[in-house]
Amino acid sequence: MTDDLGSALLVRARNAIAAEFGLEGRPEPENAALAEPGATFVTLTQDGQLRGCIGSLEAWRKLDGDVRENARAAAFRDPRFPPLVRDELARTRVEVSLLTAPEPMTFTDEADALRQLRPGIDGVIFEVGRHRSTFLPQVWESLPDRREFMGHLKYKAGLPPNFWSPEVRLYRYEVQKWKEST
């Protein structure tokens, strides 16, 4: 993947949000990878603070459509935030993460799983029963301790931070990310 692809993804993400406000977007550079299946997360920040983050964990649609839909979802449908308003767009920064396919982890218990995690590299999907959550690798920047990272991941899934069960399934993935400059 190249910086050219990153530029193409960032422009498409911003343009998808701008179009919802009836604003004209920037010219969109072409890239052959946009026609291939891809999984993205779009993260929106304002003054360094999270303002929305929505994405796909698996590549089930073309990369072009995936980044556009996730940008709109991050701006207008992230349940943690009110929908973005037009006046916020200029101060909102867009980051796009392109995910590798999730790989199942094999472990004997929580301690073994924690030992295998690679801070700053692994994005993690946590699943047990109907509970599911994920953190992108970028979350390690604010939660560098493996146990704390896992505790917050469980909490995000609606479980207590000290929860563990033999039925827990973990998957890891990596990302290539691009962020708009300020």
CATH number of 3-99: 3.30.700.20
Separation of alpha carbons 19 and 71, rounded Å: 11
Task: Give the chain's mean pLDDT.
Answer: 96
Question: Which residue is it, tokens 């207590």?
Answer: 160
Going by pLDDT thresholds of 50, 70 and 90, the confidence category of residue 78 is very high
Sign of the C-alpha dihedral computed for residues 58, 63, 68 and 69 taken in this order: negative
What tens digit of pLDDT does each residue of 23-67 get?
A: 999 999 999 999 999 999 999 999 999 999 999 999 999 999 999
Q: Cα dist. 182→21, 90, 151 in Å? A: 21, 10, 32
Domain boundaries, the chain: 3-99, 103-175
Between CA 172 and CA 140 the distance in angstroms is 13
CATH number of 103-175: 3.30.1490.150
